[in-house]
Amino acid sequence: MQYQQLRPFPGDFLWGASTSAYQVEGAWNEDGKGPSVIDTHVKRPEGVADFTVASDHYHRYAEDVALFAELGLRAYRFSIAWTRIVPDGDGEVNRAGIAFYHQLIDELRSKDIEPIVTLYHFDLPAALDERGGWSNRATVDAFVRYARILFEEFGDKVRYWLTINEQNMMILHGRAIGTTGRSGEASKRVIYQQNHNMFLAQARAMALCHETLPEAKIGPAPNIVSVYPATCAPEDVIAADNWDAIRNLLYLDLAVHGSYHPLAWAYLVERGWEPEIADGDLETLTNAKPDFIAFNYYSTQTVGASRGDASDLQLRGGDQQIVRGEIGLYRAAKNEHLPTNAFGWEIDPVGFRTTMRRLWDRYRLPLIITENGLGAYDELVDGRVRDDYRIDYLRRHIEQIQLAISDGVDVFGYCPWTAIDVVSTHQGISKRYGFIHVNRDENDPRDLARTKKDSFHWYRGIIAGNGADLH
Ligand code: BG6
């Protein structure tokens, strides 16, 4: 639909930006923090930065929050490191870790920045991983206990909670992005049991949040793409539906309705990967109701009918945004209409609108975008980062939010990835996303000085005008 007049962004729209604990904080073993699977198991290619120092936000959070305030952020989406709060996952509570997040949240609140807190963003405590990780139902109890600690500690300061970041990517691409730890090096059957256990953990955390914090809101945060058929051949449409069910709807239906999507379940049964469902699980899943859907959007994906052989598969193996293919299910295809970024991820702003429309159509829950952004090899030259390519990317995506709002979709916030440069999941610090440049490279942390990029000044203007100055 084309409009004569677009609807404005709501006055209280949450213009924000995102990070995650292990990618931004550093201080990986300070003040009582325990190791997570990221610290013990991530294998990086030679010369790619690890997460020990990251962007050193742990020590520089006050300076960073001052910059976020200057940027005009109304919200900041970050994650709490489970291993700072409970170093071994389910034992002693670490007061120093709790104190850090009180300071961070107080700093944000003092500048009128709404904290949006992810409970768990890829960094499972290593001690739990040693005991089977998500294969062990005791991890579900440990997660719920950890969530309770956070609700009790921060519940009077935090209104928006996210359960688990990109559970679907941990299941589908855990090896590529390095989130599996030891327990994830298992068969698909075991991994889908882990998936089920994570759903239980999420459902119980949502129910607990509603019980203990009636004013708070909580939702899941999967990575969602609209899936296009490679052509209008009916077989390609079937393949697109297959992949949509397994990549997106399995996770969304479980979070919202507490039930397995029928096509995804048929796939699991066909492969012999269906999880064991214990007495009471289905009740636990259906009793939990999210208040909103948070989702991360980077691109769409395009697939065709399976040819039944290895030509279905993407040779590079795939990652969060690069479709992999699965024999007998769908074939990875390239969308000839879309450009790609420097890392092979397709760029599709219009697909963003499609994704918002589809989510609203299916679930009728308010939406918030908790990640969207452009990874690029930024260069700091004479004290300036001229990232006009990022401005263009963000502008074109924000325009699509306004179109989706005009279509009648309820979107209440946008938190692009990232507020400040962080270390990418598997491609180092050279793949930058931030509004604020951090002076370090893969091997040398240098002085970690902060510099506002051109996109910082641009986004500040967009926020100040509540999205009115996009064009
Ligand atoms: C999402 C993750 O998959 O994409 C983030 O939630 C991640 O943690 C972001 O950093 C961008 O991906 P990458 O692989 O470029 O860091």
* 94 closest CA partner among 79, 108, 82, 78: 82
Work out the end-to-end distance of the chain between its first and last CA atoms, rounded to an integer number of angstroms.
Answer: 19
- Are the CB atoms for 60 and 462 separated by under 8 Å? no
In the chain, the percentage of residues whose pLDDT exceeds 70 is: 100
Dist CA 71 CA 112 (whole Å): 12
DSSP conformational letter for 133? G
Dist CA 7 CA 13 (whole Å): 13
C-beta 169 within 6 A of ligand 1? yes
Cα of 425 vs centre of ligand 1, distance in Å, is: 6
- Structural domain spans, the chain: 14-302+338-464
- Are the CB atoms for 28 and 51 separated by under 8 Å? yes
Looking at residue 42, what is its pLDDT?
Answer: 73
Cα of 17 vs centre of ligand 1, distance in Å, is: 13
Q: Is the pLDDT of residue 410 over 70?
A: yes
**Could you tell me how far CA 448 lies from the centroid of its own chain?**
25
C-beta 20 within 6 A of ligand 1? yes
CA 165 to ligand 1: nearest atom: 6
The token pair at 434 is 């931030």
Cα of 457 vs centre of ligand 1, distance in Å, is: 24
- Give the CATH number of domain 14-302+338-464: 3.20.20.80
C-beta 153 within 6 A of ligand 1? no
Q: Mean per-residue pLDDT for 353-380?
A: 98
Q: Which of 141 and 318 is assigned the larger pLDDT?
A: 141
C-beta 421 within 6 A of ligand 1? no
C-beta 166 within 6 A of ligand 1? yes
Cα of 204 vs centre of ligand 1, distance in Å, is: 26
Bond before 83 cis per omega within 30 degrees: no
For ligand 1, atom 8, name the residue with the nearest CA.
Answer: 425
In the chain, the percentage of residues whose pLDDT exceeds 90 is: 92
Name the band, by pLDDT with cuts 50, 70 and 90, for residue 180: confident
- Tokens 């259906």 appear where? 286
pLDDT tens digits for range 257-269: 999 999 999 999 9
pLDDT tens digits for range 1-14: 889 999 999 999 99
The token pair at 414 is 């946008």
Q: Is the pLDDT of residue 185 over 80?
A: no
Name the band, by pLDDT with cuts 50, 70 and 90, for residue 315: low
**Could you tell me how far CA 361 lies from the centroid of its own chain?**
22
Amino acid (one-letter) located at 100? F
Dist CA 265 CA 269 (whole Å): 6
Instruction: Give the catalytic positions in this structure.
Output: 166, 371
* 329 closest CA partner among 227, 223, 407: 227
C-beta 295 within 6 A of ligand 1? no
Name the band, by pLDDT with cuts 50, 70 and 90, for residue 184: confident
